[in-house]
Amino acid sequence: MPPAKKRTRSYDSAKTRAAVLAQFRNVREAVAALTPEQLAGPTRLGEWTVRELAAHMTMAVGSLARKLAEPEPATRELALLEWPLVTATQAVTIDEDTRAIDTADLMGLYDRSAARYEERIAGASDDRLVRTRFGAMRLADFLVTRAVELVVHTDDLNAATGLDIPYDRQALAACTRLLADALAVKAPGGAVEVRIPPYAVVQCVEGPRHTRGTPPNVVETDPLTWIRLATGRTGWAEALDAAKVVASGERADLAGLLPLLR
């Protein structure tokens, strides 16, 4: 019998829309307090400075606002669960676009991006198609990817500056769940149960499927550690050594499956 097809998780679009804006405002408030010296500092993202990272984060909502002003594509080309696994294909272009952003008025850029997002998202249908770098997606799905971008890069910004920018709970939940589901797509099966309380539990990896009782292969971690693992910010061995991950069972080694998003 063939394995059951992975069912796409549903997201509350109204909550996702609000979460994207809430996380963007959290970042905006933090960036406004940074000194010129802090903005010129390095990040863990190659040669990007903090200023370039901060500018890149405006693209999460700014790009959506621009896309909603464009003609709607005729057909959907990309499903939500496909998005994490194709992002690496545009890494060079994303870097070039980020470096081309005019950051002379960084806070004005944040304010304009937020205003356009609020204006254009209002009344837009969840099923409206928007063009992305990777293919046309439903607006509701693309909004989830915006939450992922903001959460991942908020963590990058915290790491670079020593700040403690808060995470909107809904945005953090969406990011955790999408990356967990991407793992289940990349390694379908039921031999390993991955637990990321309080947001996600998925089964993955080929092998005997667990049905009841304590699973023989279990991985458990917290949301931020999972996000760092899934995006390559933290290595599997590093997380195990730091006791950030608990892995039990002979199949509970995810090192060869990570990262999922680059």
**In this model, does residue 2 exceed pLDDT 50?**
no
Q: Which domains does the chain have, with CATH numbers?
A: 13-169 (1.20.120.450), 187-257 (3.30.1050.40)
Beta strand 218-221 with 192-196: parallel, antiparallel or unpaired? Answer: parallel
Phi, psi of 218 (to 5 degrees): -135, 135
pLDDT digits (tens, 9 = 90+) for 39-90: 999 999 999 999 999 999 999 999 999 999 999 999 999 999 999 999 988 8
Which is nearest to 157 in space by CA: 23, 242, 54? 54
Q: What SS3 class is residue 141?
A: helix
Q: CA-to-CA distance for 41 and 50, rounded, in angstroms? A: 6
Angle between helices 139-161 and 50-68 (to 10 degrees): 170
Phi, psi of 129 (to 5 degrees): -85, 140
Token pair 């892995």 in the structure block, residue: 247
Number of C-beta neighbours around residue 205 at 10 A = 22
Sign for the pseudo-dihedral over CA of 176, 47, 20, 166: positive
Q: State percent of the chain over pLDDT 70.
A: 95
Q: State percent of the chain over pLDDT 90.
A: 90
What is the pLDDT, as a whole number, of residue 213? 63
Which is nearest to 131 in space by CA: 87, 84, 73? 73
Give, for 129, the enclosing helix (H) or strand (E): strand 129-130
Confidence of residue 8 (pLDDT cuts 50, 70, 90): confident
What is the pLDDT, as a whole number, of residue 208? 72
**In this model, does residue 95 exceed pLDDT 90?**
yes
Phi, psi of 42 (to 5 degrees): -80, 165
pLDDT digits (tens, 9 = 90+) for 164-201: 999 999 999 999 999 999 999 999 999 999 999 999 99
Q: Angle at CA 29, nearest 5°, toward 26 and 30? A: 90
Region for residue 205 given its phi and psi (left: phi exceeds 0; alpha: psi -120 to 50; beta: otherwise): left
pTM (whole model) above 0.85:
yes
Calculate the average pLDDT of the chain: 94
Half-sphere exposure of 128 (CA within 13 A, CB side): 19
pLDDT digits (tens, 9 = 90+) for 12-21: 999 999 999 9
Q: What SS3 class is residue 261?
A: coil
How is residue 240 written in tokens? 């195990």
